[in-house]
Amino acid sequence: MKPSYKRILLKLSGEALTGDGQFGIDAEVLKSFASEIADIHKMGVQIGIVIGGGNIFRGIQAAAHGINKVSGDYMGMLATVINCVAFQNALEAQGVPTRLQTAIKMEQIAEPFIGRKAIRHLEKDRVVLFGSGTGNPYFTTDTAAALRANEIGADIILKGTRVDGVYDCDPEKNPNAKRYDTISYSEVLEKNIRVMDQTAIALCKENNLPIVVFDLNTKGNLKRLISGENIGTTVKKSS
């Protein structure tokens, strides 16, 4: 089956890797996600991945520990690299060739991020993981995902979450929450709906880069989405 997208940027939260735990990396969850990605890699899809670090450390936690914002954000960036290394190993165990690029130089672990080189890896059917966010404090991995997606010329950002789309309020707290099939960038910004942070949404809006928010925990959802099924919520220019 011909995939609906040639090149994607998959955004995962660090918390998605914890499974039923409160922190760390669940090996079975990691293996399951890697298997899902291996399936779409076999379809010929070019895949970039950005993973958060919230399962290990979040910059927002820093103040509570007496750590200043900048130092806390750098600690969070390093946490994303740990997740990327783990994910890289899980993908390669599935037979998927990978490259890890980071915005902060760490030559023994990864290549420095170079957009043209990342594109070349994608063209050679390697999955590229992007670690350490944008390399700058005060920016989230949502913004890093939007930035990298635009830099590599991705067709779409796929944001894997634990819910099946975008709602007008938290569906885990309100059973009457309304799910959107599609929603515009402007509406997300105006209503301050928690899809991605506002900087990321604005960047996608400016470059007309669509986002699909979907439940990655449901096995097969990623492949169905890539195959053209209507999965999750699409954020685009107009709803």
Fold of 7-236: Carbamate kinase (3.40.1160)
pLDDT at 58 over 80: no
The torsion angles phi and psi of 238, rounded to 5 degrees, stand at -140, 140
pLDDT at 21 over 80: no
- pLDDT value of residue 64: 66
pLDDT at 68 over 70: yes
pLDDT at 168 over 90: no
| pLDDT tens digits, 111-127 | 999 999 999 999 999 99
Kindly state the percentage of the chain with pLDDT values over 90: 76
Q: Roughly how many angstroms between the first and final C-alpha of the chain, as a whole number?
A: 28
Q: Are 193 and 213 in contact, with CB atoms under 8 Å apart?
A: no
Angstrom distance (rounded) from CA 112 to CA 102: 5
Q: Which of 52-61, 72-81, 100-109 has the lowest mean pLDDT?
A: 52-61
Q: Are 153 and 147 in contact, with CB atoms under 8 Å apart?
A: no
Q: Are 213 and 159 in contact, with CB atoms under 8 Å apart?
A: yes
Directed axis angle between helix 141-152 and helix 198-206, to 10°? 20
- pLDDT value of residue 208: 96
pTM here?
0.94
| pLDDT tens digits, 176-219 | 889 999 999 999 999 988 889 999 999 999 999 999 999 998 99
Q: Are 146 and 206 in contact, with CB atoms under 8 Å apart?
A: no
Q: Are 222 and 39 in contact, with CB atoms under 8 Å apart?
A: yes
pLDDT at 83 over 90: yes
Residue 58 tokens read as: 């979040």
- pLDDT value of residue 121: 98
